[in-house]
C-alpha cells in the first residue's frame, strides 16, 4: 500500500520549471533513495512534499490529498523534513532544538523517553545539551537536525543530503542511523549526492535529471545499471 | 534635596515605562524584522481609552479600585485587539513585499491612528480624571511617590512576566524559533501566523500598560503623545540591541536615566544656556551615537553563527 503518491507533480520558480511533472510513490515502511545531479530538482521535490513551496499536480498521503497544505499542518500527519543545510535553530540550545522537534506532540512522558533515546543515539549531543546549537560542528549539527526530526515521531521522514560536508566516519554513523530508523518502521525518502551509499541502504531508488524522473528501479538494479554507474557512481 | 538621587528615581520611573514600550518594538522586530512605527500610537490609544473609561465610570457608585481595574482591563483589551488587527490587516498582506512597504505602512498607520484619536478626543490635552493622592516618601534626601513606586512595580512585573514567557515556556520557545527562521519553525509544526499575532497582542498589552502609567504620571494625555514616546522607546530598543528583549529593558532604563540626569544637570553644564525642557534632545543624541558607534546595540547579537 502506498503511503505517499505523487502524481504529475510540478514545481516552478517564476519561469524556471524545476520539477516537470514527476510521478512516484513510496510504500509504507520503505526506504527510497532519490538521486540526481546538482540542480536536478531533488530539493524542490522534497519541499513540495512537506508544504514548503507551492506545487502543481497531486500529492496523496495515506489516501488523502495533501497538495499545498502548509507544512505546520503536515507535521501533525507525520511528514517531516530534515532540510538541506540542516536548518537548526542556532540561537537555541540543543535541548531546545529537540523540544522544537517535539512541538507537535503533547504527551510529556513519551517526549521525555524520546529525549533519552536521542541522547543514547547521539551521545555527543547529550554532552552539549545546554550549549547553543550554533556552536556545534557541522557534523554535530547534522546529528541534531536528524534527532530533531525524529523527536516528532515521523511516519514519513524526508532527508535532504544528510551526508553533506561530513567526514567519512560521520557519514557512516548517519547512514547506520538512517537504516536503524527505517528498521523501526519509519518510511523514508532519502535524497543524496552519495548515490552508492544511498542505494546500498535503500529498497528502491529514483534517478532524477533536469526535473524529470529518468529511472526507477530496485536499489540493487540501479547499483548494477551501467547508466547509473557511469553517471552517478563514477565507475 | 539630593538632586542626583532624585533624578535617578525619576529616571527609573520614566525608564521602566520606556522599557515596556521598547519590549513591544523589539519583540515584533525580532520575529518579523519590522519596525512597527505605529506602536507609539497603541500606547496613546491605551491611555485615551483608559481615561475615557475612568471619566465614564467616575460618577458611578462602583468602588474606585474596581473603576480603575475595569478601565485598565478595557484599555488593555482594546489595544490587544488593535495590535492584532493592525498586523492582520496592514502588515500580513505585505509579508513578502520589499521591506520598505511595511515600513511606510507603519508610518501611515501611525498618522491615521493619531488623526482618529484627534477626532475622537480633540486637539487639547485630556486631563487624567482621577485625583491621585500620591503620598511622598522621603529617602536619603530625595522623595518617591506611591504612584512612582506603583509604576516601577507594575513595569517590573510585566517585563519579568514577558521574559519568563519567552524564555521558559513552549510558546516562548516557538516564538524564539520563529524569530530565527519562519520556514523551519513551520516545519516543526509552529503556526507562524499565530506566533506573529501573539507578538503583536503581547506588545500591545504592554503598550496599553505604559500608556496608562504615563498618563497617570503626568496627569495628561494627548492625541500626539505616542509619537515622541514611541520614538524614545524605539531608541531604547536600539540602544539595548533591537530584537533582544533583555536589551529592551536595559535600553529603556538607561535611556530614562540618561534623560533624567541630563535634564537635571543640563542647566549647570551649559551655564544656564539650555534648561531642563531640553530633556528630549538626549534620546536623539543617544540614538545617533548608538547608530554610529554600535548599531547592534549594547546586547545585540554576539553569538557566532555557523553556516
Ligand atoms: N528559490 C529558487 N528560485 C529560483 N530557482 C530555484 C530556486 N530554488 C531552486 N531553483 C532552481 O531549480 C532547480 C532545481 O533546484 P533544486 O534545489 O531542487 O535541485 P537539487 O536537485 O536539490 O540540487 P542539489 O543536488 O544541488 O541540491 C535548479 O535549477 C535551481 O536553480
Ligand atoms: Mg538539493
Residue B232 domain boundaries: 2-121+143-293
Cell, residue A211: 526535473
Minimal C-alpha gap between A64 and chain B (Å): 19
- A95: number of Cβ within 10 Å: 17
Q: What is the pTM of this model?
A: 0.91
- Report yes or no: B38 at the A interface, CB cutoff 8 Å: no
- CATH number 3.20.20.150 given to A2-88+138-232: no
Give residues 159 to 178 of B whose Cβ lies within 8 Å of A. 170, 173-174, 176-177
* Facing B303 at nearest CB: one of A85, A100, A132: A132
Question: What's the pLDDT score for residue B307?
Answer: 34
For position B305, what pLDDT does the model report? 38
- When divided into structural domains, chain B yields a total of 1
Query: Does some domain include residue B130?
Result: no
Q: Nearest C-alpha of chain A: how many angstroms from B163?
A: 15
Please identify among residues 278-307 of chain B the ones whose CB lies closer than 8 Å to any CB of chain A: 303-307
Task: Tell whether B185 is within 8 A of chain A (Cβ).
Answer: yes
- In chain B, % of residues over pLDDT 90: 66
CB contact under 8 A, A50 and B187: yes
Taking an 8 Å cut-off on Cβ atoms, the answer to whether A87 and B304 are in contact is: no
Is residue B133 situated within a structural domain?
Answer: no
Domain-located, residue B199: yes
Which pLDDT score, from 0 to 100, does residue A226 have?
A: 84
- DSSP result, B219-271: TEE-TTHHHHHHHHHHHHHHHH-TT-HHHHHHHHHHHHHHHHHHHHHHHHHTT
Is B41 within the bounds of a domain?
yes
C-alpha A225: how far from its chain's center? 24
B184: closest chain A residue by CA: A87
Please indicate if any CB of chain B lies within 8 Å of the CB of A87: yes
Tell me, yes or no, whether B138 lies in a domain.
no
Tell me which of A57-61, B40-44, B218-222, B277-281 is least confident: B277-281
pLDDT tens per residue across span B53-66? 998 888 888 888 88
A107 has a chain B CB within 8 A of its CB: no
Please tell me if the CB atom of residue A194 comes closer than 6 angstroms to any atom of ligand 1. Answer: no
Residue A2 in 3-state DSSP? strand
Q: Hey, are the CB atoms on A135 and B306 less than 8 Å from each other? A: yes
Every domain of chain A and the residues it spans: 2-88+138-232
Tens of pLDDT, residue by residue over B88-123, are 999 999 998 998 999 999 999 999 999 999 999 999
Inter-chain CB proximity B177 and A136 less than 8 Å: no
- The Cα of A227 is separated from the nearest Cα of chain B by a number of Å equal to 35
**Nearest-atom index, ligand 1, CA of A53:** 1
Question: Is the C-beta atom of A15 inside 6 A of ligand 1?
Answer: no
CATH number at residue B21: 1.10.3470
Among A76, A87, A138, whose Cβ lies nearest the Cβ of B184? Answer: A87
Give the ipTM of the model, two decimals please.
0.91
Residue B131 lies in a domain: no
Buried b (16+ CB within 10 A) or exposed e, B248-284: bbbbbbbbbbbbbbbbbebeeeeeeeeeeeebeebbe
Please tell me the distance from the alpha carbon of residue B302 to that of residue B306, in angstroms, as a whole number.
13
B127 lies in a domain?
no
User: Between B170, B173, B303, which is nearest A90 by CB?
Assistant: B303
pLDDT digits (tens, 9 = 90+) for B65-75: 888 889 999 99
Amino acid at each position: 500500500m502506498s503511503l505517499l503518491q505523487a502524481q504529475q507533480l510540478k514545481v516552478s520558480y517564476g519561469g524556471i520549471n524545476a520539477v516537470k511533472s514527476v510521478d512516484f510513490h513510496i510504500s509504507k515502511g520503505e526506504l527510497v533513495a532519490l538521486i540526481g545531479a546538482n540542480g536536478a530538482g531533488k530539493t524542490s521535490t522534497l519541499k513540495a512534499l512537506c508544504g514548503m513551496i507551492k506545487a502543481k499536480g497531486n500529492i496523496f498521503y495515506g489516501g488523502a490529498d495533501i497538495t499545498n497544505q502548509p507544512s505546520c499542518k503536515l507535521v501533525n500527519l507525520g511528514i517531516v523534513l530534515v532540510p538541506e543545510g540542516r536548518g537548526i535553530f542556532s540561537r537555541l540550545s540543543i535541548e531546545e532544538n529537540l523540544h522544537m522537534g517535539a512541538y507537535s506532540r503533547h504527551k510529556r512522558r513519551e517526549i521525555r523517553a524520546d529525549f533519552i533515546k536521542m541522547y543514547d543515539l547521539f551521545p555527543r549531543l547529550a554532552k552539549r545539551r545546554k550549549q547553543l546549537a550554533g556552536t556545534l560542528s557541522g557534523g554535530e549539527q547534522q546529528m541534531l537536525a536528524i534527532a530533531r526530526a525524529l523527536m516528532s515521531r515521523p511516519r514519513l521522514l524526508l532527508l535532504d543530503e544528510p551526508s553533506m560536508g561530513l567526514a567519512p566516519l560521520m557519514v557512516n554513523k548517519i547512514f547506520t542511523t538512517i537504516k536503524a530508523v527505517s528498521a523501526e518502521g519509519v518510511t523514508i525518502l532519502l535524497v543524496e549526492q552519495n548515490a552508492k551509499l544511498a542505494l546500498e541502504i535503500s529498497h528502491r531508488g529514483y534517478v532524477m535529471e533536469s526535473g524529470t524522473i529518468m529511472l526507477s528501479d530496485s536499489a540493487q538494479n540501479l547499483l548494477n545499471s551501467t547508466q547509473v554507474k557511469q553517471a552517478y557512481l563514477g565507475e | 534635596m539630593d538632586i542626583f538621587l532624585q533624578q535617578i528615581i525619576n529616571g527609573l520611573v520614566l525608564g521602566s515605562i520606556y522599557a515596556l514600550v521598547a519590549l513591544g518594538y523589539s519583540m515584533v522586530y525580532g520575529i518579523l524584522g519590522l519596525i512597527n512605527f505605529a506602536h507609539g500610537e497603541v500606547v496613546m490609544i491605551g491611555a485615551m481609552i483608559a481615561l475615557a473609561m475612568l471619566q465614564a465610570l467616575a460618577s458611578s457608585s462602583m468602588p474606585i479600585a474596581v473603576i480603575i481595574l475595569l478601565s485598565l482591563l478595557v484599555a488593555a483589551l482594546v489595544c490587544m485587539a488593535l495590535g492584532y488587527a493592525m498586523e492582520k490587516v496592514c502588515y500580513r498582506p505585505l509579508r513578502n513585499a520589499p521591506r520598505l512597504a511595511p515600513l511606510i505602512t507603519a508610518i501611515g498607520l501611525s498618522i491615521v491612528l493619531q488623526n482618529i484619536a484627534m477626532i475622537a478626543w480633540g486637539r487639547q490635552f485630556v486631563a487624567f480624571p482621577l485625583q491621585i493622592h500620591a503620598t511622598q516618601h522621603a529617602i536619603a534626601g530625595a522623595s518617591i511617590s506611591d504612584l512612582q513606586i506603583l509604576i516601577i512595580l507594575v513595569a517590573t512585573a510585566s517585563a519579568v512576566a514577558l521574559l519568563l514567557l519567552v524564555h521558559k515556556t513552549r510558546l516562548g520557545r516557538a516564538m524564539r524559533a520563529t524569530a530565527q527562521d519562519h520556514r523551519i519553525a513551520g516545519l516543526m509544526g509552529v503556526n507562524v501566523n499565530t506566533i506573529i499575532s501573539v507578538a503583536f497582542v503581547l506588545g500591545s498589552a504592554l503598550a496599553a500598560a505604559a500608556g496608562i502609567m504615563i498618563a497617570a504620571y503626568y496627569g495628561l494625555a494627548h492625541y500626539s503623545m505616542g509619537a515622541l514616546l514611541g520614538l524614545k522607546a524605539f531608541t531604547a530598543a536600539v540602544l539595548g540591541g533591537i530584537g533582544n528583549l533583555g536589551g529592551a529593558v536595559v535600553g529603556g532604563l538607561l535611556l530614562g536615566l540618561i534623560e533624567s540626569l541630563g535634564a537635571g544637570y543640563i542647566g549647570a553644564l551649559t551655564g544656564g544656556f539650555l534648561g531642563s525642557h531640553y530633556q528630549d534632545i538626549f534620546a536623539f543624541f543617544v540614538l545617533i551615537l548608538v547608530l554610529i558607534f554600535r548599531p547592534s546595540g549594547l546586547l545585540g547579537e554576539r553569538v557566532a553563527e555557523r553556516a
